[in-house]
């Protein structure tokens, strides 16, 4: 088993699948803002270039060293649950670190991602976009296998986008950038859905298997949240109560309770799949610990922004450059300066580097929301 977790995030937006290839700026563009929603906005300012990840080199010993010095980064998934990723020692020391999830799922990157393999219990809608942290992939495989254990002969679980190999932008999704988000389709009653993205309805939703899947995700993996359209939530909630699940537990999952927001959140359009955000605490912790080294060595290039600095009494070009982490040459170039002479009141354009959003956020692994234990059977020694 892996540790427990969940948290929140703002819902919204409907979610076209990457293989649907919606036209840029088309119908979806205007009303999307959720984790799966289109990020592109026509006329978007490019002053701050998007961050990017450069191809990994074999020289990241310093990063490995940083992690080693920092000590254990967390518990690895239990034996038998981790995906069969590599059996031989990797030639690249960077890869020996394991998956690194950098930043918020809307802004970050994935390093050393693991690709979801083919499986007997699942099918991938977009194999090229099926990269996740090792923890995410292990969790998905675990749930698919457990579902088939519970319901032998079930159709293969249909898994859509996770992340690109190195994470980063994954249009039309707004999130799915750090190997922690996965789109998993609801189980439908027809064995062969009419199309890959088929909405679940009261008529076609296999409530028994879909509830079992959702239950597995919530109780046996670490998730921050699960996004499901309200129309499907209603069907699943009704089914869960009907089959005898604890009403208070079910209410907490779907509606939250005092001091705790719901784990399952409504996002319009999530009628065909659930969007699961896994915690991936180990990969995230690695991302926090290694962030500065990854930036220093150019493996992660954070965004930057332009600011204006007005020269005040006592300023020198070298001090200003140092203050903003620039070289004097870069500062001269950005401002067309032929010398290091600056004047009081002169306005200089500065390119200031900013952190990838969420890159230094503390990693929180919330307690899993588990149903109450069945009443203890009276123990009789007699």
Kindly tell me which of 107 and 275 has the beta carbon lying closer to Zn ion. Answer: 275
Which part of the chain contacts Zn ion (CB under 5 A), choosing from 122-130, 182-190, 276-284, 363-371? 182-190
Q: Does 267 bind Zn ion (CB under 5 A)?
A: no
Kindly tell me which of 36 and 294 has the beta carbon lying closer to Zn ion. Answer: 36
Which part of the chain contacts Zn ion (CB under 5 A), choosing from 106-114, 180-188, 201-209, 247-255? 180-188
Which part of the chain contacts Zn ion (CB under 5 A), choosing from 33-41, 133-141, 217-225, 246-254? 33-41
Residue ranges in 213-242 that form contacts with Zn ion under rule CB under 5 A: none
Round to whole Å and give the CA distance between 235 and 332.
63
Kindly tell me which of 270 and 299 has the beta carbon lying closer to Zn ion. Answer: 270
Q: How far is the CB of 176 from Zn ion (least distance, A)?
A: 6
Kindly tell me which of 134 and 183 has the beta carbon lying closer to Zn ion. Answer: 183
Neighbour-count burial of 191, counting CB atoms closer than 10 A to its CB (0-12 exposed, 13-18 middle, 19+ buried): exposed
Q: Does 275 bind Zn ion (CB under 5 A)?
A: yes
Kindly tell me which of 106 and 275 has the beta carbon lying closer to Zn ion. Answer: 275
Round to whole Å and give the CA distance between 151 and 207.
13
Round to whole Å and give the CA distance between 286 and 271.
34
Q: How far is the CB of 360 from Zn ion (least distance, A)?
A: 25
- Strand order of the β-sheet with 122-124 is 122-124, 157-159, 181-185, 273-278, 223-227, 264-265
Round to whole Å and give the CA distance between 358 and 256.
25
Q: How far is the CB of 299 from Zn ion (least distance, A)?
A: 26
Q: Does 36 bind Zn ion (CB under 5 A)?
A: yes
CB 177 within 8 Å of CB 110: yes
What region does 128 belong to: left with phi over 0, alpha with psi -120 to 50, or beta? alpha
CB 96 within 8 Å of CB 67: no
Q: How far is the CB of 273 from Zn ion (least distance, A)?
A: 7
Kindly tell me which of 185 and 207 has the beta carbon lying closer to Zn ion. Answer: 185
Task: Give the H or E element holding residue 112.
Answer: none
Kindly tell me which of 231 and 346 has the beta carbon lying closer to Zn ion. Answer: 231
Q: How far is the CB of 37 from Zn ion (least distance, A)?
A: 9
Q: How far is the CB of 275 from Zn ion (least distance, A)?
A: 4
Pick from 225, 272, 327, 235: nearest CA to 8: 225
* Neighbouring C-beta atoms of residue 76, cutoff 10 Å: 15
- Helix locations, the chain, DSSP H: 61-70, 134-150, 207-220, 230-242, 247-255, 281-296, 317-323, 328-334
Round to whole Å and give the CA distance between 187 and 205.
6
Round to whole Å and give the CA distance between 134 and 115.
8
Kindly tell me which of 197 and 291 has the beta carbon lying closer to Zn ion. Answer: 197
Q: How far is the CB of 9 from Zn ion (least distance, A)?
A: 11
Q: How far is the CB of 140 from Zn ion (least distance, A)?
A: 13
Q: How far is the CB of 336 from Zn ion (least distance, A)?
A: 45
Site string for Zn ion, 63-102 (x = CB under 5 A): ----------------------------------------
- Outline where DSSP puts E strands in 10-90: 52-53
Which part of the chain contacts Zn ion (CB under 5 A), choosing from 29-37, 105-113, 199-207, 319-327? 29-37
Query: Quick one: the chain helix, strand, coil %, rounded to 5?
Result: 25, 15, 60
Kindly tell me which of 11 and 302 has the beta carbon lying closer to Zn ion. Answer: 11
Residues that bind Zn ion (rule: CB under 5 A) add up to a total of 3
Residues that bind Zn ion (CB under 5 A): 36, 183, 275
């Amino acid at each position: 088993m892996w540790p427990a977790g969940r948290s929140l995030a703002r819902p919204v937006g409907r979610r076209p699948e990457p293989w649907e290839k919606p036209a840029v700026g088309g119908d979806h563009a205007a009303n999307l803002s959720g984790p799966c929603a289109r990020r592109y906005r026509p006329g978007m300012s490019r002053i701050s270039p998007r961050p990017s990840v450069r191809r990994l080199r074999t020289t990241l010993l310093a990063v490995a060293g940083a992690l080693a010095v920092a000590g254990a980064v967390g518990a690895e998934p239990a034996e038998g649950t981790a995906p069969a990723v590599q059996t031989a020692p990797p030639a690249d020391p960077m890869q020996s670190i394991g998956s690194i999830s950098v930043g918020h799922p809307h802004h970050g990157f994935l390093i050393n991602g693991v690709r979801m393999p083919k499986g007997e219990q699942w099918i991938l809608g977009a194999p090229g976009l099926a990269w996740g942290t090792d923890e995410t992939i292990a969790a998905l495989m675990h749930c698919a296998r457990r579902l088939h254990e519970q319901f032998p002969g079930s159709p293969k679980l249909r898994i859509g986008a996770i992340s690109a190999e190195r994470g980063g932008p994954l249009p039309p999704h707004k999130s799915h950038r750090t190997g922690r988000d996965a789109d998993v389709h609801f189980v439908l009653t027809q064995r062969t859905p009419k199309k890959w993205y088929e909405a679940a309805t009261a008529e076609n939703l296999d409530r028994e298997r879909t509830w079992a899947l959702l239950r597995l995700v919530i109780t046996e993996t670490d998730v921050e949240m699960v996004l499901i359209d309200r129309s499907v939530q209603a069907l699943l909630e009704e089914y869960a109560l009907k089959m005898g699940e604890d009403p208070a537990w079910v209410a907490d999952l779907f509606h939250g309770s005092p001091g705790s927001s719901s784990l399952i959140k409504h996002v319009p359009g999530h009628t065909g799949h659930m969007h699961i955000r896994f915690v991936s605490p180990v990969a995230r912790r690695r991302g926090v610990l290694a962030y500065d080294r990854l930036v220093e060595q150019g493996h992660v290039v954070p965004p930057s922004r332009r600011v204006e600095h007005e020269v005040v009494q006592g300023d020198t070009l070298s001090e200003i450059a140092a203050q903003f982490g620039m070289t004097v040459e870069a500062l001269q170039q950005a401002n067309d300066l032929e010398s290091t002479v600056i004047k009081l009141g002169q306005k200089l354009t500065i390119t200031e580097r900013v952190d990838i959003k969420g890159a230094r956020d503390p990693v929180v692994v919330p307690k899993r929301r588990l149903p109450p234990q069945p009443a203890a059977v009276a123990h009789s020694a007699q």
